[in-house]
Each structure stands twice: as C-alpha cells, then as structure tokens.
Structure 1
C-alpha cells in the first residue's frame, strides 16, 4: 500500500460504493423508530451463515479469519503490529443507512429502501454481501419476521445515480467506485446532521453545550485516516499534532439538539442508550487541511456507531 503525507496528498481518492437497495415487501415489515441496528443484525447473521466455512464459534481463533467474507466485512482483523499503536479493533468497511426515522408498518406490495456502503477492498465482497442481504430479507426481519424481495440496486454517486442490478439482468453490472476529493470550498461550510452524532471525551458523551469544533474535526480526521489505511488503496497520513493546533483557528455556529434513541443489544442482553446530536453546524476558518476528512465523512459518517448509520451528515451551502 502506498502512503502520502498531507502536503503531497492534497486530493486523496477512495474507492467507495453507496448503494440504494430497493425491495418489494412480501410479508408485512414492522420498522422500529430507527432500523439501523435491526438491519445490521439481520445482515450479520445472514453473512456469517453464508461465509463461514469452519463453523467456529469464536472468529478470533479461526484459521481462516483473514480470508473469510464475514470477518473481512463484519470483524476485520487488526494488524499484529502498527507503528502508532496496537489496535484491538479497526473500523469496519461498511455503513448501513436505514430508512428515515419513524415507527411504521410496510405491507405486502410496499417498497422498502435503504442504503448500504462498502469501502475500498471490501467492494470485492459486494456479490456475497448482496446474497447475504437477500437471505436476511427472505428469512425475515423485525418482530413479525417481515420479508421482501430485492428489486433493484442503484449506485448513488455525488452527481448521478446508476442502476447496477435488476432481477432481469440477474447480475451486478461492472461500475466505477473511485471518488476523488474535490478542491476545498470557501472558508465557511455547513453540516446538516441527520442521525445522532455520538462524540465522546474520555467516555463521556458530548452534548450541545460541551461539544467542540476540535472534537468533531479530529474525530473525522482519525476515522478517515484509519479507513483509508486499513481499507483503502492509499493511506492518508495527516499530521495529527499540526491539525490539532489548527482546530483553534476554526470557529462554529451550532443549532444542535440531543436526540435520544435506544436499541436492544442481544450480545449484552440489555437496552443501550445511543442518543446523539442532530441539527446544523456551521464551520468557519482554516478548513482546507480538514477538507478530505470532512468531504468523505458524508459517506463514512462521524462518531460512534457509524456502521449502522449514526453520525450521518451532508455538506450544504452556508
């Protein structure tokens, strides 16, 4: 894997496919207020049933864990040695963006749509990932085991939407997934945060009164750097100390509110509170050095629990 320092890597690229999966409901599906966790659980169970050959209960002791589709996507193996630190976990190379907020029931004949993003080398696993999704929705999701059939896959890029699968063609069409970061815009940008952004300081959630521009920017920088290193074609190597100093030159105007949300953890056998910040956040100042992390963050999300859609935002004109 090649590496570049920030001074040389002013316009990084990343292979990334954000796919809209459209389904026709065949048995009523009861959606919770936020379906990200439910969808991730269904996808993970189906992927493991398809991809696991050894049937080991614990993936950490499996001799095939570096080559298994399940671990590649769901439990990627951290490097044994790393020059910066020892990693017990690395970011997963997928993001699930569920339907819009709101409890509701979809009846037979209705359309269910949600987004599924694969990053970097994980794009090679797209066919088996789609097979896992089809199996998950055929088995049933939600409290009533609702089912659905896949009707289309659309690749959604910054300026276009490209159909890459229909039942008629029967296979996923070849398509380009590499995105290049555009030049940075003016000194002010606006983030519209649509799902709870969960930033923390020493394990304590940051709320509207305590969150800072530094916390946001450095979380984005770290996430993009780790994803590009472990899953991308080229590692983005920012100077963390320099960027930390630059955050003092960035000011913000926030209209944020806390949104509570809970999910049930089948692993921990208890409900977990996963609230976070939503709303509008204007950033002003020396943003050019942070721009790649900010721009790609629209697909990669920010903060904790990004894999099932939290911390989603888009950049709009200020």
Structure 2
C-alpha cells in the first residue's frame, strides 16, 4: 500500500565522555544538535528566520530539517527515536543509541544527515554541554557500517521502500514507549479511541506523502473513520507524564508539553487497518513526532 514511500533508518552510537545530567527524553536535545550542525553548513542567511528568508525554497537546511510550511504544513521528513528513554544521570563511558529515520525525498540527502551526525560530536549536549564521541553509525535494517573512526561507507546509504504485508487481525495491542501527545481542541487526550488513532495517523501519513513524495493519497476519510469507530477498546492503561523542552520562544525558556504513556488493546475487524498501523511505526503519531514522541510497537493475534 505504501511502496511509493522510501525510508532509511540509521542507528547512531555515541559514548559519553564526562559525568553529568541530561533530560530524560533526549530526542529534543539530539534534534537541536543536528539542526545546528546542518544549519551551520548550509544556511547563508543566519540572521533571518527561515520563514522570512527569500532563499528558503532552495535551502538544504529547510529542505532536510526545518520545513517552514506550505500546502502540507510544517511537517518534516524525519524522526528520532532514542533507545533507553528516561535516563538522566550519565557517566563517562555510557553509550547513547538512537535511530534517525528518513522518509520520502529525505532519503536522497542521507549524506547530509550523516555529516550532521559526525559533526554532532563537536557539540556539547544539553545545558551541561556534555561531550559525546561518535563510535559508529550503521544501517539499522541491514547492519552495514556507514561511519566509524573517521571512515565513511557512503555506498551503504541505500534506502528501501516501505513494504508492508497485509494480515488478518481481530486484536491489536499498541504499546507506546515514548510520550504520546494527541491534542484535540487544544486539550491533551488522556486515552486513545481507535477512530482518533486512525484520524491522526492517516492525517500525518497524508501530509508526509504530499510533501515528500510524488503521490497524493486519497482516503475515503468518512468511511474509514466510520469503520474505525466500530473497533472497541478491550483493555488499556495510561499515565500522565510531564515533559518540557528548551524553547527560545518562551519567556521562561521552557515549553511545557504534557503527555501520556501507556498501552491499549483493540478488538474488532482490524485487518484493513493493519497497513496504516504498520506505517505508523515509521512515521510516529501525534505532536513531537520528530523528537521521538508517539513511537509504538504493535502486536496482533494472528
């Protein structure tokens, strides 16, 4: 169903070089570091905001990292998933492992992202500016090396298509292992009815497809949501988690982003929704997807 979408996930391994404290969810920190690295390399108007810059249409930083809007909104063609979420106390020798997933046309600029990962070890991480050394970067799917000890294997930068097998399913258990932020009418949802999941997931997939592929998805949204409304919640467990990240646009310097953690077991005729649920594992769902929010695993009864 989504074979038109190219995807490529690189896995980066860094070693902490000094004891210190970092935020429990490092996706925002890592995104900021990579953004600085790409901007320093490609931005020619560093004193201007991207959305005000006349060069934005041809800027590699905007194209790869900081989409300023348009018909598809400000959706970006990548996301970050940090393994071992929740760790705050770091000691020298600890390793940080995270995945950077590229979607659609972003896969054509994989070298740009790889260069940013290499440059990231020159930056201090977090408010404490902890130093990290890049150990290696690999293709998370094939395991092939992309970078280690100053050597790059650019011929291994090979994206794949988003190939998803159909399957019959009457039960699906979705486990969110990063914060989930689904906001409707300005309010954070405290649970996740299936039709809401499908509404937000299909919307995100449509925006990414529109902006970063040459395909325009045409959903029968009304019928799809009617079918989704028939899926029941068999069991669920949620808890609220506070989250904040640094923001220069806030007076306090912090942006508060409350979220929920948990899992939900759905019951019903889920077979037609399996491709979208599987695609969601790559694109994530909800706000903060680029920094790793809304990442989930899904398990079926067959």
TM-score of the aligned structures, taking structure 2 as reference length: 0.89
- Cα distance change, pair 24–250 in 1 and its aligned pair in 2 (3 A): same
Preserved contact between residue 171 and residue 265 of structure 2 (Cα < 8 Å): yes
Mean alpha-carbon deviation: is it higher for 196-205 or for 109-118? 109-118
Matching residue within 27, 50, 58 for 1:59: 50
Q: Distance in 2 between matches of 1:133 and 1:153?
A: 8
Aligned match of 2:171 in 174, 178, 188?
A: 188
**1:191 Cα deviation from its structure 2 partner:** 0.7
Shift of 1:46: 1.9
Contact 2:80/2:101 (<8 A) preserved: yes
Aligned partners of 2:168, 2:251: CA distance in 1, in Å?
Answer: 46
Instruction: Please tell me whether residue 25 in structure 1 is matched to residue 16 in structure 2.
Output: yes
Q: Secondary structure at the match of 1:183?
A: coil
CA distance in 1: counterparts of 2:104 and 2:115, whole angstroms:
19
Q: 2:30 is matched with which residue: 14, 24, 39?
A: 39
1:260 Cα offset (Å): 2.2
Greater CA deviation, 266-275 or 39-48?
Answer: 266-275
How far is 1:205 from its partner? 0.7
Secondary structure, aligned partner of 1:236: coil
**What's the offset of the Cα at 1:41?**
1.6
Match of 1:234 among 203, 207, 215: 215
CA distance in 1, matches of 2:103, 2:47: 26
Structure 2 unpaired stretches of 5+: none
Q: Structure 1 residues 125 and 267 mapped into 2: Cα distance closer, same or farther (>3 Å)?
A: farther
1:102-251 correspondence to structure 2 within 5 Å: 102-107=87-92, 109-157=93-141, 160-167=142-149, 169-172=151-154, 173-208=156-191, 211-251=192-232
| Partners of 1:212 and 1:317 in 2: CA distance | 17
One of 300, 304, 307 as aligned partner of 2:283: 300
Deviation string for 1:259-316 (max 9, x for gaps)? 2222232222333332222222112223333333211111111111111011110112
How much does 1:27 deviate?
4.2
Question: Are 2:284 and 2:295, in contact at CA under 8 Å, matched by a contact in 1?
Answer: yes
Q: 1:265 aligns with which of 233, 247, 251?
A: 247
| 20, 26, 40: which one aligns with 1:49 | 40
Counterpart-to-counterpart distance in 2, 1:145 and 1:289: 47
Instruction: Tell me if structure 2 keeps the 8 A contact 1:19–1:116.
Output: yes
Give the CA RMSD over aligned residues. Answer: 2.2
Residue 72 of structure 1 is matched in structure 2 by 63
Question: Pick from 291, 297, 301: which aligns with 1:314?
Answer: 297
Scaled by the length of structure 1, what TM-score is found? 0.85
- What is the number of residues matched between the two proteins? 297
Distance change in 2, residues 1:229/1:125 (3 Å): same
